[in-house]
Chain A
Amino acid sequence: MASLESARPEAWFRLERDRLELGGAWTIGASARLDRELRCLKPEGEGAVTIDASKLEKLDSSGAWLLLRTRRALEEAGRQVTGPDLPESYRPLLENLEKTKPVPAVKPPKPKTFLRRLYLIGKGAVNACEQGWKMLGYLGRVTVEAGEAAARPKHNLRIAAIVTQIEETGINALPIVGLLSFLIGVVLAYQGVDQLAQFGAEIFTINILGVGLLRELGGLVTAIIVAGRSGSAFTAQIGTMRVNQEIDAMQTMGLNTIDTLVLPRVIGLVVVMPLLTFYADVMGLIGGAVMCYFDLGITFPVFLRQLDQAIDMSTFMVGIIKAPVFAIVIALVGCYEGFQVERNAASVGALTTRSVVEAIFLVIVLDAAFSVLFSVLEI
């Protein structure tokens, strides 16, 4: 580590009965050592003390602070202090510091007691409920605005912005969604074969693949990737606009931020998500087919014939129907959290994290709710 202590004359001090003599370079480099030594100084004693600092060769504000602190300690011990007597050039510094009145050291924060922890848990629970309530309110507001926009599509629907969002959230997501779905198909097929081989029923791996991917995994994996990729981007984009006061500027120009910022994102994602889910289903099945071919020697036509028996249209529809709902949740959470950003940079990061966590949480909760619903409806 580089050091502040250079070849300067070393700082020293000496307390005799009625004189405190000090000299050398009382600077920041020496102050850690001086501080420890000065604390050991015994200020008790009788009579007056003269501080003689005329041999000082260098003084900066930390040194001056230590000097003043020592003088104060002597005074508090009931001794009459005169001085410090110091070179002319350092006098303004000391006077400047003397003018600033002694301040208490910075207080440490309160320790966390049991009761305080309990309070924090309660507060967190209440905040979570409030958050849910506000989000519901936001959903209502966006729905109303969307209705108005649908009534006057020429003016309120921003086609160019929607197309941009479709490109950003859809086309640009194709490589990552495709790759991950393919790998999920591979993994699923591999595990299925491993387990079903115990019953000699390897061929039913294809049933697992078809039903698992189309009903659940295709949509879920897509939603999670989109939440991480686009939901976070929505929060960061809108949040940065808030930090730069762009949102305020838009409002003063009479631009409706829901029309201009939120609806294009929601509509774009609603259009894109079913398509992405379909694409993920296909890529997952391809992954599974490749695995089946190498692991079981099942050729592609055989794979397709078995798949045809395993699934029907409703299997596919059950998966795809969830996609627009996930899209609305991800886009709304992303935009809502973006508008919550305060005017500082740290807030953008914190809310982006929150937006992704909330979106994924809600997607999985909704997926579970859909499962219950479908089983009640016996689909």
Chain B
Amino acid sequence: MKTQADRKDEVVIRVKGLVTAFGPKVIHDHLDLEVRRGEILGLVGGSGSGKSLLLSTIIGLRRPTEGTVEVLGQEIGFAEGEKMRALEMRWGVLFQEGALFSSMTVAENIQVPLREYTGMDQQLMDEIAAMKIALVGLPEDTGQKYPSELSGGMKKRAGLARALALDPELLFLDEPTSGLDPISADLFDQLLKSLSQSLGLTVVMVTHDLDSLRAVATRVAVLVDRKIKTGTIAELRRDENDWIQDYFSGPRGRAALAEA
């Protein structure tokens, strides 16, 4: 039997020689990235550096121009429909604005993957939806509300609850704390940390938020000059690249990392 400790160094996402290009415009130039089981990887980079693009390539929404992406041992983009679906059940994705289905209540949103992939009774699905809503720290009456009745922060939490519906091993978050007030953002960070500990999640998180990086990320991947540099925050601060220096040692960076 494998325990979590044995699998600590297992690589769950492996991006090799990835090239993304729109005509002559090259966004990613042979970049490599490895994500290990159980870690929270923060993905940062300037505007237009292709963070969200990288994320959507990893989850199979785009085909890479060149190179390979492997998630949980399965190559993305060439996986058969059935295999791809089996893979999609093992990850959850939180999109930037939550991407909740607007015609359904929050509880129904959470039940969509449950209804599709498990043979659960309605009663159990209701219980699970209520449990997930409580798990992400939303008030209990949120289940009956429609997405248009929720604030931005609540939408993100509800989106997270839906992403967690199938108890995935892997969680992708696209700017989970952007647009949240600092207190909500802090709460979100704590929530993410406790969830990743208790559920043993591996998290890939695109973010601009330095405080959030410091609070939760075990490693950081920086998209710079069409490539990726990975390391802990301390390691990256010693890097000589100008953008990385500006990012971590600019006024905002210094303020956020002062206690680090």
- Hey, which bits of chain A sit against chain B, CB under 8 A? 1-4, 27-29, 31-32, 35-36, 57, 60-62, 65, 69, 89, 92-93, 95-97, 100-101, 103-107, 342-346
**Cα–Cα, bound, A86→B204 (Å):** 29
Interface size on B, residues (CB 8 A): 42
On whether the beta carbons of B199 and A93 are closer than 8 Å, the reply is: yes
**Cα–Cα, bound, A32→B89 (Å):** 16
On whether the beta carbons of A61 and B140 are closer than 8 Å, the reply is: no
Closest chain A residue to B127 by CB distance?
A105
The answer, yes or no, to whether B112 is at the interface (CB within 8 Å) is no
The answer, yes or no, to whether B186 is at the interface (CB within 8 Å) is no
Over the window 113-138 of chain B, the binary record of Cβ atoms lying under 8 Å from chain A Cβ atoms (1 yes, 0 no) is 00001111101101111111111000
On whether the beta carbons of A97 and B197 are closer than 8 Å, the reply is: no
**Cα–Cα, bound, A128→B140 (Å):** 36
Shortest C-beta distance, A328 to chain B (Å), equals 32
Given the interface pairs A27-B167, A35-B124, the reply to whether A100 lies near B135 with Cβ below 8 Å is yes
Question: In the assembled complex, which residues on chain B have CB atoms less than 8 Å from the CB atom of A107?
Answer: 144
**Cα–Cα, bound, A344→B82 (Å):** 33
On whether the beta carbons of A96 and B198 are closer than 8 Å, the reply is: yes
Given the interface pairs A29-B118, A32-B124, the reply to whether A103 lies near B134 with Cβ below 8 Å is yes
Q: Which of A2, A29, A89, A344 contacts B4 (CB 8 A)?
A: A89
- Hey, which bits of chain B sit against chain A, CB under 8 A? 1, 3-4, 82, 85-86, 89, 102-103, 105, 107, 117-121, 123-124, 126-135, 140, 143-144, 147-148, 164, 166-167, 194-195, 197-200
On whether the beta carbons of A345 and B102 are closer than 8 Å, the reply is: yes
Shortest C-beta distance, A18 to chain B (Å), equals 27
On whether the beta carbons of B119 and A65 are closer than 8 Å, the reply is: no
Given the interface pairs A2-B117, A4-B118, the reply to whether A65 lies near B131 with Cβ below 8 Å is yes
Shortest C-beta distance, B99 to chain A (Å), equals 11
Given the interface pairs A103-B140, A106-B129, A106-B144, the reply to whether A92 lies near B120 with Cβ below 8 Å is no
Q: Which of A28, A29, A100, A105 contacts B134 (CB 8 A)?
A: A100
On whether the beta carbons of A32 and B133 are closer than 8 Å, the reply is: no
Q: Which of A27, A93, A106, A343 contacts B107 (CB 8 A)?
A: A106
**Cα–Cα, bound, A28→B126 (Å):** 14
**Cα–Cα, bound, A342→B149 (Å):** 12
Q: Which of A62, A95, A106 contacts B143 (CB 8 A)?
A: A106
Given the interface pairs A61-B164, A93-B198, A96-B194, the reply to whether A346 lies near B124 with Cβ below 8 Å is no
Closest chain B residue to A38 by CB distance?
B124
Shortest C-beta distance, B27 to chain A (Å), equals 25
- Nearest 8 pairs of A and B residues by beta carbon: A100-B134, A60-B167, A93-B198, A92-B198, A105-B126, A32-B119, A103-B130, A103-B140
Shortest C-beta distance, A147 to chain B (Å), equals 38
Shortest C-beta distance, A283 to chain B (Å), equals 41
Closest chain B residue to A344 by CB distance?
B148
On whether the beta carbons of A61 and B102 are closer than 8 Å, the reply is: no
Shortest C-beta distance, B198 to chain A (Å), equals 4
Question: In the assembled complex, which residues on chain A have CB atoms less than 8 Å from the CB atom of B107?
Answer: 106
**Cα–Cα, bound, A31→B200 (Å):** 19
Shortest C-beta distance, A289 to chain B (Å), equals 50
A-B contact pairs, 5 of them (CB 8 A): A4-B166, A32-B124, A62-B128, A92-B194, A103-B140
On whether the beta carbons of B167 and A28 are closer than 8 Å, the reply is: yes
**Cα–Cα, bound, A95→B195 (Å):** 11
Q: Which of A95, A106, A343 contacts B130 (CB 8 A)?
A: A106
On whether the beta carbons of A97 and B135 are closer than 8 Å, the reply is: yes
Question: In the assembled complex, which residues on chain B have CB atoms less than 8 Å from the CB atom of A4?
Answer: 89, 117-118, 166
On whether the beta carbons of B85 and A2 are closer than 8 Å, the reply is: yes
Question: In the assembled complex, which residues on chain B have CB atoms less than 8 Å from the CB atom of A346?
Answer: 102-103, 148
